[in-house]
Chains A and B, each alone.
Chain A
Amino acid sequence: MTPGFVVRRIGFYVLVAVVLAFFAVPMLWLASAPFDARPGLGLRWPDWTWSNVTATFQHPFALTSLLNSLVLCGIATVVTTAFAALAAYSLSRVRIPGRDLLLYLLLLLSSVVTGTAAMVPIFVLMLQLGLINSQFGTALVIASGMLPAAIFILKDFVDAVPRSYEESARVFGASPAQVLGHVVLPIARPGIATILVWSFVNAWGNFLLPFLLLRDVGKQPAAVLLRTLNDEGGSANLTVIPVFSLLYSIPVVALYLLVSKRYGFRFHGGIKS
Chain B
Amino acid sequence: MRRTTPFVLLAVGGLLAGCLGQNQAEQGQPTRNADAKDVTLTIVANAVAGGKNTRGADWLTNWVIPRFTEAQKAKGVNVTVRFDQNGAGDEDYKTKIALDLKTGGGADIVEIDGIWLGEFAQAGQIKPLDDVIGKSGVDAWDGWKQIPDAVQGLGQFDGKRYGVPMGTDGRVLFYNKKLFAQAGLPSDWQPRGWDDVLAAGTALKRIPGVAPIQLNAGTAMGEATTMQGVLPALVGTGKPIYDGGKWQGGTAQVKDVLGLYQRVYGGGLGDAVLQQEAKGRDRSFAMFADNKIGILLESDYFWRSVVEPRIGVAKMADRDTAVGWALVPAKQSGSGVSGQDFVSMSGGGVRVVNPNTQYPKQAWEFMQFLNSAEAVKAALAGTAQVTQRNDVNDEVLKGDPMLSFIADEVLPITRYRPGLADYPKVSAALQQATADVVAGKSPDDAAKAYQDALVKAVGEGNVAGG
Contacts and interface: CB of A to CB of B under 8 A. Distances in A.
Contacts of A60: 49-50
A124 interface: yes
Size class of the contact patch on chain B:
35 or more
Interface in A219-244: 224-225, 227-238, 240
Interface string B1-29: 10000000000000100010000000000
Interface stretch (B90-98, B245-253, B368-376, B411-419): B90-98
B285 A211 contact: no
Contacts of A96: 1
A255 interface: no
Given A124-B19, A124-B103, A127-B105, A236 B49 contact: no
A110 B200 CA distance: 56
Interface string B38-61: 000000000111111100100000
A62 interface: yes
B52 A231 contact: yes
Given A212-B99, A217-B48, A232 B53 contact: yes
A17 interface: no
Contact of B88 (A102, A227, A233, A240): A227
A180 to B, nearest CB: 22
A269 to B, nearest CB: 26
Nearest to B314: A235
B99 A236 contact: no
A212 B283 CA distance: 29
A119 interface: yes
B89 interface: yes
B313 A237 contact: yes
B286 to A, nearest CB: 7
Interface string B383-418: 000000000000000000000000000000000000
B99 A217 contact: no
Contacts of A211: 88, 92, 96
A120 B99 contact: yes
B49 A235 contact: no
B52 A61 contact: no
A228 B48 contact: yes
A136 interface: no
A225 B87 CA distance: 8
Contacts of B53: 231-232
B402 to A, nearest CB: 16
Interface in A97-141: 98, 102, 119-120, 123-124, 127-128, 132
A236 B48 contact: no
Nearest to B302: A233
Contacts of B302: 233
Contacts of B105: 127, 132
B1 A212 contact: no
B279 interface: yes
Given A211-B92, A217-B85, A227-B88, A127 B50 contact: no
Interface in A183-233: 208, 211-212, 215-217, 224-225, 227-233
Nearest to A121: B19
A228 B88 CA distance: 5
B340 interface: no
Nearest to B312: A231
Nearest to B93: A211
B435 interface: no
B281 interface: yes
Size class of the contact patch on chain A:
35 or more
Contact of A233 (B48, B96, B306): B306
A228 B52 contact: yes
B282 interface: yes
B301 interface: yes
B19 A235 contact: no
A235 B287 CA distance: 13
B51 A233 contact: no
A41 B283 contact: yes
A216 B84 contact: yes
Given A41-B283, A62-B50, A211-B96, A228 B103 contact: no
A98 B5 CA distance: 13
A60 to B, nearest CB: 5
Nearest to B96: A212
Nearest to B222: A234
A59 interface: yes
A234 B46 CA distance: 11
A11 interface: no
A81 B15 CA distance: 30
Contacts of B314: 235
Contacts of B281: 234-235
A162 interface: no
Interface string B294-331: 00000001100110000001100000000000000000
Interface string A68-109: 000000000000000000000000000010100010000000
B187 interface: no
Nearest to B349: A232
Interface in A38-67: 40-41, 59-62
- Residue from A124, A216, A228 with most neighbouring chain B CB atoms (10 Å): A228
B301 A230 contact: no
A29 to B, nearest CB: 14
Nearest to B279: A41
A217 B84 contact: yes
A231 B89 contact: no
B56 to A, nearest CB: 8
B301 A234 contact: no
Contacts of B19: 124, 128
B50 A61 contact: yes
B190 interface: no
B279 A236 contact: yes
Nearest to A235: B313
A232 B95 contact: no
Contacts of B103: 123-124, 127
B86 interface: yes
Given A41-B283, A237-B51, 7 more contacts: A102-B1, A120-B99, A212-B99, A228-B51, A230-B51, A230-B89, A235-B314
6 contacts: A60-B49, A123-B99, A127-B103, A217-B84, A228-B48, A232-B53
Interface of B: 1, 15, 19, 47-53, 56, 84-90, 92, 95-96, 99, 103, 105, 279, 281-283, 285-286, 301-302, 305-306, 313-314
Interface of A: 40-41, 59-62, 96, 98, 102, 119-120, 123-124, 127-128, 132, 208, 211-212, 215-217, 224-225, 227-238, 240
List the 7 closest pairs (A to B, CB-CB), nearest first: A228-B87, A228-B51, A217-B85, A235-B313, A232-B53, A59-B50, A60-B49
